Structure 1
Amino acid sequence: MTSRPYLNRRTLLRRSAAAGLVTVPALGALSACASGGGSDNEPEERGETSADNPFGVTDSELEVVIFDGGFGDQYAKDAEAIYEQSYGSVDHTKTQEISSQLQPRLVQGSPPDVIDNDGAHAMEIAALIHDEQVYDLTELLDAPSLDDPNTKVRDTLMPTIVEMGQYGGQEVYQLNYAFTIYGQWYSRTALERIGAEYPQTWDEMLAVCEAAKREGMAGWTYAGQYPYYFNFTMYPMIAKVGGPEVLAAIDNLEPNAWRHDAVKAVFEAYYELTARGYILEGSPGMSHEDSQDEWNQYHALFIPNGSWVENESKANTPEDFRMAVGAPTGLDSSDAMPFGTLWASGSAPFFIPADASNAAGGLEFLRIMLGKESASNFTKLTSSLTCVRGAADDLELGPGLTSAKETFEAAGDNLVLPRIQDWYSTLNNEDIGGAIADMMAGNIEPDEAITRCQNAADTVAQDDSILKTRHV
């Protein structure tokens, strides 16, 4: 099916934003623009509902915007093709500039119907929720799943997915489509070349890095331009050392949460990597692609990352690399949680704007994506798991994803879920990430990095204009 032969107002706004003709208001200005006022979309008219069409989708155009990152967008196009078999045409756009292109349209009241709000330039979802600009997805979760009408969508999802979409209440505002295993990614081949086992304690980590150094290989590299990548291993290590309640205190912006002994121990451990010269030279200035390329060339043993890395770096990964991921290394036997403790949770967050002109179509599109056909297709295309239970069970997986699945299964109930990265993304990515970046570059020591993290968290805690969410 082809797109409609006319340009509606939201299509004009989308093209204007892409061309830089629409200015983006400051976040404070966005906070003053609640949804429901000034929308130029006509009220949505739903059709009759049925077992096959639980949301009453009518034959109207659906607009979908996908983040053009490590997962690409082919998986979305394939799901859109399924949608078009029964409903209207799909206007598909991919971009890395999510905020600059879409935030003006949300303010104007003419947003797309579905947004993959991902990447370094994602919109602050908490602020959008606060301004009532996000559609409640509870209707989707309580609908019959695509493959089994006797099973609700919510009952097909992996652990933590529903929780991740909640912001201080029972409503669910976003769907994290991918299921990511965060940890220390490495090459089994490289580890074997230096005659080492995967390190479970920090003394073992230092010994492995020293062995790598003797063979001309750095112990670690990382994306210095995106230093929050270090959080993918540091956060679960903090929970492992001190218990999950330490992460909960950090998420809740509690006073002195960053000064907990577990945080200090982890920062000092990571700083030792820098002090001993185990970080690949040049890492502080690298992009994620740069650091992954260096890692793929056996220039460094470990890299903090998520399970999207297998697909994102596949063009430069040697055939003999044997990519794998391990649970974050702990401190020692005094740790509060066992080795294997893992951060495994949803990523690739999707939401439907409150002012979407085809919210019913957006709900149905997400229901299609949560069907086994689309979920399995995503895994085949991206080498990443989805939030759908069992969707990858019958697939032949690459070495990285096979390792990720095994590491997740070995973790059992020892899963942690840091929320600061989606509750307060600017704090996480820029302030805390920046402090860790300076520490890992050797510019500051752990105590100063901790002070900066705590001061930044206190500033957010005291800012009444920022929506607060808490663990209960």
Structure 2
Amino acid sequence: MGSTSAHDNEGLGRRNLIKRSAALGLIAVPTMGFLSACATGGDGGDDKKTDAPKGETSEKNPLGVKNGVALEAFIFKGGLGDQYAKDAEADFKATYKAEVKHTGTQEVGPKLTPRFAGGNPPDVIDNSGAGHLDMNKLSSQGQLQDLAELLDAPSLDDPAKKVRDIIHPSTLEKGKHGDVFDVLYYAFTIYGTWYSQKLLDDKGWTYPKTLDEMVTLCGEIKKEGIAPWTYAGKYPYYVHFNLFAQIAKIGGMDAWMAIDNLQPNAWTGNDAVKEVVEHYEELAAKKYFLEGSQGLTHIQSQTAWNKRKAVFIPNGSWVENEAAPTTPKDFGMAVGALFDGSGDKHPHGTLRAEPSEPYIVASKGKNPRGGMELLRIMLSKEHAQNFATKVKSLTCVVDAPEGMTLSPGLASANKVFKEAGENLLSLQLQEWYPALTDEKLGGLTGQLLTGELKAAEWIKKAQAEADKVAKDDSVTKFQRTS
């Protein structure tokens, strides 16, 4: 994940199978084999560090970074790796004559929960992967640096433009907790149905436009002795990258926002939910998923897909970099937009594309200004293009890939992104309530795809789980209006 999410060995952020339950406010209680990402410590925003170092501000140092003050960066090292961050850190080190302590890890939450609780967090964190830190809780505790100064600082490439002017508008919206912008989603993930263009061309198949066409094509694919679909059965929330967005495309964003906002009957009263979940029930009933997919990790499912054991896989654009070790050179990795259903509220070509890979700066770190400056460096065109080259993924920097020679998957992602125009969907449920979506609903989806659960029961139980969260006063709630 990422980039939402999560994926325990990826960039999205995206998208994390975790149980958020803390014991004694410090030690996470393992559930389903995963550690909680719930950090505690501190009792609100009035307790912010006041002795953080500050240097003289200038045209070249608008954030007032103090020379020579060390910076600590904690970077999720999954499908995107962490070299791109090291490259930006090298520029920071050269500019500010400061040491940078870099940690690359796949265990952000388990390693940093006690540090936040103890009041000594690192300065800047790429908070991704399974077991990431609970940003909702950190924000409510005043643990996250307000990044307004970063947004209002001049961009590195063009001082006439502020940082806020060079990043995608959805990045500004997604990074807010209430009215405070305290999370910078650095990557920009294209979600969808991924496939090999070469395989489709070799077989004379065409990427389907509608849900019905997909079912028909699956029948043809199965006759060829290939599984139409595979998925990360160990982490079935991967399927939500498509399933949730498909609901939003058909039913419209107003209906989806009711789901994001945990409103009563948001699942059970939405016809699009019924249509989409029944579609997945049909795929399962006709055995259109690769046998054994329920036992595969994301890496194993991607490897099976690369070996032509399955045609389609639901994923995010980090997959090209993550699956690179097993991807044939002539694979022709590509991604397709969402399918049309009946009476769609959004046009053909609509795409789920949204900010991912959440970066945070600790307000109680030793050098929060340095943390913000590192992000400003990463948002330069040079480093945005370096990210695209190294990890085959877009960043939130608008138009950064222009003029570049892109890898097949990234070129395809960029193409469908441009074709979608303003018809882009951004969903919050997996970001705001990952314990609900990834554990509870993920468990239901796992049963749906093996045929153990019918669509009607999935919907009924999904609503019940959402209602539980809505009534749980211990869970911070968020509301969206657009």
| Normalised TM-score (structure 2) | 0.90
CA contact (8 A) 2:39 2:133 kept: no
- The gaps in structure 2 that reach 5 residues or longer are 1-24, 30-35
**Residue of structure 2 equivalent to 1:450:** 459
The aligned runs of 1:315-330 (5 Å cut-off) are 315-330=325-340
Whole-Å separation in 1 of the counterparts to 2:173 and 2:444: 28
Report whether the alignment pairs 1:432 with 2:441: yes
User: Which amino acid in 2 is paired with 1:393?
Assistant: E
**Residue of structure 2 equivalent to 1:414:** 423
**Structure 1 residue 194: deviation in Å?**
2.8
User: Which amino acid in 1 is paired with 2:90?
Assistant: A
**Residue of structure 2 equivalent to 1:98:** 108
**Structure 1 residue 29: deviation in Å?**
8.5
**Residue of structure 2 equivalent to 1:46:** 54
User: Which amino acid in 2 is paired with 1:412?
Assistant: G
CA contact (8 A) 2:430 2:438 kept: yes
Report whether the alignment pairs 1:173 with 2:182: yes
Tell me whether 279-288 or 28-37 shows the greater mean CA deviation. Answer: 28-37
1:244 counterpart (235, 240, 253): 253
C-alpha change, 1:256 and 1:143, in structure 2 (3 Å) is: same
Whole-Å separation in 1 of the counterparts to 2:169 and 2:194: 22
Report whether the alignment pairs 1:119 with 2:129: yes
Whole-Å separation in 1 of the counterparts to 2:37 and 2:74: 24
**Structure 1 residue 235: deviation in Å?**
1.6
Could you say what the CA RMSD is over the residues aligned between the two structures, in angstroms?
A: 1.8
C-alpha change, 1:216 and 1:146, in structure 2 (3 Å) is: same
After superposition, the C-alpha distances for 1:147-200 in whole angstroms (9 at most, x for unaligned) are: 11110001000231010101222x101001111100000111121233221111
**Residue of structure 1 equivalent to 2:306:** 296
C-alpha change, 1:243 and 1:469, in structure 2 (3 Å) is: same
**Structure 1 residue 35: deviation in Å?**
5.2
User: Which amino acid in 1 is paired with 2:363?
Assistant: A
Whole-Å separation in 1 of the counterparts to 2:106 and 2:194: 25
The aligned runs of 1:51-130 (5 Å cut-off) are 51-58=59-66, 59-87=68-96, 88-130=98-140
**Structure 1 residue 436: deviation in Å?**
1.0
**Residue of structure 2 equivalent to 1:268:** 278
Whole-Å separation in 1 of the counterparts to 2:119 and 2:156: 31
CA contact (8 A) 1:36 1:355 kept: no
CA contact (8 A) 2:73 2:123 kept: yes
CA contact (8 A) 1:242 1:262 kept: yes
Whole-Å separation in 1 of the counterparts to 2:458 and 2:401: 41
CA contact (8 A) 2:39 2:116 kept: no
**Structure 1 residue 423: deviation in Å?**
1.0
After superposition, the C-alpha distances for 1:405-464 in whole angstroms (9 at most, x for unaligned) are: 010011111111110111111111111111111111211111111122111111110011
Whole-Å separation in 2 of the counterparts to 1:24 and 1:67: 20
**Residue of structure 1 equivalent to 2:32:** none
The aligned runs of 1:342-357 (5 Å cut-off) are 342-357=351-366
User: Which amino acid in 2 is paired with 1:106?
Assistant: F
**Structure 1 residue 330: deviation in Å?**
2.3
C-alpha change, 1:207 and 1:253, in structure 2 (3 Å) is: same
After superposition, the C-alpha distances for 1:323-369 in whole angstroms (9 at most, x for unaligned) are: 1000122224x222111111101111000112111001001000000
CA contact (8 A) 1:65 1:95 kept: yes
Report whether the alignment pairs 1:24 with 2:21: no
Whole-Å separation in 1 of the counterparts to 2:248 and 2:393: 25
**Residue of structure 1 equivalent to 2:12:** none
CA contact (8 A) 2:175 2:184 kept: yes
**Structure 1 residue 246: deviation in Å?**
1.7
User: SS of 2:169's equivalent?
Assistant: coil
In the comparison of the two structures, how many residue pairs are matched? 448
User: Which amino acid in 1 is paired with 2:290?
Assistant: L
User: SS of 2:154's equivalent?
Assistant: coil
**Residue of structure 2 equivalent to 1:233:** 242
User: Which amino acid in 1 is paired with 2:394?
Assistant: L
CA contact (8 A) 2:26 2:40 kept: no
User: Which amino acid in 2 is paired with 1:305?
Assistant: N
After superposition, the C-alpha distances for 1:65-86 in whole angstroms (9 at most, x for unaligned) are: 0001110000000000000111
The aligned runs of 1:134-149 (5 Å cut-off) are 134-149=144-159
After superposition, the C-alpha distances for 1:222-270 in whole angstroms (9 at most, x for unaligned) are: 0111111111111221112111112101100000111111101100001
Report whether the alignment pairs 1:467 with 2:476: yes
User: Which amino acid in 1 is paired with 2:287?
Assistant: G
Whole-Å separation in 2 of the counterparts to 1:25 and 1:314: 34
CA contact (8 A) 1:42 1:357 kept: no
